[in-house]
Amino acid sequence: MATPTSYDDFNRTLTDSTPPKDWPEALKAMWFAATDNWEASHDIAQDMFNETGSWIHAYLHRVEGDKFNAGYWYRKAGKSFPKISLEQELQEITKNLLER
């Protein structure tokens, strides 16, 4: 399957058993996050050595409830600690990835 072009298209894939293999790693990480597979998402994010990986990593530690660790990763990503819901942030990160 081709990379989704919209957040709605992304959401329609969430009933699949796995994300498509040809998707970018960051989008796969968000797919796993959206399907409540924290470990799989974290495994991808911690191997991404860029601001996007740091942002996803921060989000995941926020999901986990580890504000201290999340704060470290938000700073590495060049972002402030968000004041939006986790659901809103998942959507924001995913839309950002889809717009690239």
Please write the tens of the pLDDT for every residue from 18-48. 999 999 999 999 999 999 999 999 999 999 9
- Map out the domains of the chain as residue ranges: 25-98
Instruction: Identify which of 50, 8, 2, 62 has the alpha carbon closest to the alpha carbon of residue 26.
Output: 50
The pLDDT > 90 percentage for the chain reads: 96
pLDDT at 1: 66
3-state secondary structure of 2: coil
Structure tokens at 98: 């889809």
